[in-house]
Amino acid sequence: MMPTPESAVVSPPRERAAAHPPSAGRRFEVVVVRTEEELLRHVDAWDELARQSIEPNVFFESWFMLPAVRAFGTEQKPLFVFIYENQTKKPGQQLLAGFFPLVRTRGYKGLPVSVLSLWHHAYSVLGAPLLRLETARDCLATFLDWAATGAEAASLVHLPLCPGEGALNQALVENCHAQARLSHVNEAHTRALFLPRKDTAAYRALALSGHHNREMRRQERCLAKLGRLEYRLLEQADDVPLWTREFERLEAAGWKGMEGTAFACRGTDQLFLRTIVADAFARGQLLMLGLFLDGRPIALKCNLRAGDGAFAFKIAYDEALAKHSPGVLLELFNIDYLHQHREIRWMDSCAVAGHPMIDRLWLDRRVIQDVLLSTGRRPGDAVVALLPVLRWLKRKLAFRRSSACWNVAPEESHGKENGS
């Protein structure tokens, strides 16, 4: 069940993992693939698993992952683990129970140790492997056993950007407890999450002060004086390429374009964006909203749906109109839309921790963790056990250096600044 909106920190899994002991008679088969051609053979089962996953994760779905492999997979050479469950009541038939995109590396924080990490790229911001609800615990145990003994065996399993609550986290905790497996949360933070309130007015009253609400309405009136102002939803397939190009134009004209991080700055990134937007629309998983002035978009927001929720993938706005806050106005329209369409039960902001605008407008939070697990192979246990000590030493040394700087005499500090 979803937590109540009043919770201070929440997570959007579909349901809690079933509380039952692993089935001794259940057998799984681990299939490792490395090429796009091999991945394509699993797409039907992969898509069905994504619809049933305990943690919806659009970034690990086939239609998002395959373009990412083409665009960003050449250098890191990821491998992909599919775990199938043999159907005892239907001999010869299998059901996909888990999917793990991985990269194998040597070394973790300077320590010489082999690591299997969930594969991420610049546009992947959630590290939740796809796991079927009814077999999540058994499938996870099978994966960790494979990580310890298979052809790609490693001492550590690294799960960056992993949900810190919900069914997946519960399955991880239960496996570590049952197997006496050492684990370490290297880092944790919260990021903004949308959960609806009674209606838009109730939400805005909690998110914004009376002054800020009035200011946003004033900005909307100011924009309306410049021309015909309207909010739109991308609804026609013929409009998908145009909206995508307009999004690229808005993004490239702003600070991302100047820094070279806009989609349009690199051909591979641009093709990736155009592919996933078109595929998401064709699958009914694209929710793209826009604020238009005299028919010209001044803010566009691209959301991607997964399960009973969605992910706020990207937003762009006309920075020449920044004083009128078109991006904030579109975010408020997004909140209004979500209150009118309750089939979308939650939306992950995909924002960095402490985002100045999103954290103010979105009331709820979800926990995101960087998790390290020992597979039991040497020196995995030793590394996981030592990491808290190493982090403590690092902070202690940083504190001492900081204290030494503050204790420098004024005249001595002045001399150093002048190069003497």
Q: What is the DSSP string of 193-229?
A: EE---SSHHHHHHHHS-HHHHHHHHHHHHHHHHHS-E
Asked whether residue 10 is domain-assigned, the answer is no
What's the structural domain count of the chain?
2
Amino acid identity at 107: G
pLDDT in tens, the chain (420 residues): 344 454 434 444 443 333 334 444 558 999 999 999 999 999 999 999 999 999 999 999 999 999 999 999 988 889 999 999 998 777 778 999 999 999 999 988 778 899 999 999 999 999 999 999 999 999 999 999 999 998 999 999 999 999 999 999 999 999 999 998 999 998 999 999 999 999 999 999 999 999 999 999 999 999 999 999 999 999 999 999 999 999 999 999 999 999 999 999 999 999 999 999 999 999 999 999 999 999 999 999 999 999 999 999 999 999 999 999 999 999 999 999 999 999 999 999 999 999 989 999 999 999 999 999 999 888 888 888 888 877 777 777 776 776 665 554 444 433 333 333
Give me the pLDDT at residue 399, please.
Answer: 63
What is the domain-level CATH number for residue 133?
3.40.630.30
Q: Are residues 162 and 85 in the same domain?
A: yes
Q: Are residues 131 and 261 in the same domain?
A: no
What is the domain-level CATH number for residue 326?
3.40.630
Q: Are residues 243 and 134 in the same domain?
A: no
Asked whether residue 213 is domain-assigned, the answer is yes
Q: Are residues 306 and 391 in the same domain?
A: no
Token couple for 149: 């003994």
Give me the pLDDT at residue 417, please.
Answer: 35
Q: What is the DSSP string of 231-254?
A: EEE---GGGHHHHHHHHHHHHHTS
Whole-number Å distance between alpha carbons of 136 and 140: 6
Q: Which residues pair with 118 in a beta bridge?
A: 102
Q: Are residues 61 and 108 in the same domain?
A: yes
Q: Are residues 149 and 174 in the same domain?
A: yes
Select from 344, 377, 408 the last residue of a domain: 344
Q: Are residues 271 and 258 in the same domain?
A: yes
Q: Are residues 182 and 204 in the same domain?
A: no
Q: Quote the pTM value.
A: 0.87
Whole-number Å distance between alpha carbons of 38 and 254: 39
Token couple for 384: 């996981």
Helices and strands (DSSP H and E) totals, the chain = 14, 13
Asked whether residue 8 is domain-assigned, the answer is no
Asked whether residue 291 is domain-assigned, the answer is yes
Q: Are residues 280 and 374 in the same domain?
A: no
User: Model confidence over 357-377: pLDDT tens digits?
Assistant: 999 999 999 999 999 999 988
Full domain range(s) for residue 237: 196-344
Asked whether residue 44 is domain-assigned, the answer is yes
Q: Are residues 144 and 287 in the same domain?
A: no
Coarse DSSP helix, strand, coil percentages of the chain, rounded to the nearest 5 percent: 45, 25, 30
Asked whether residue 241 is domain-assigned, the answer is yes
Q: Are residues 144 and 254 in the same domain?
A: no
Q: DSSP letter for 60, please.
A: G
Asked whether residue 2 is domain-assigned, the answer is no
Are the CB atoms for 96 and 119 separated by under 8 Å?
no
Asked whether residue 19 is domain-assigned, the answer is no
Q: Are residues 186 and 230 in the same domain?
A: no
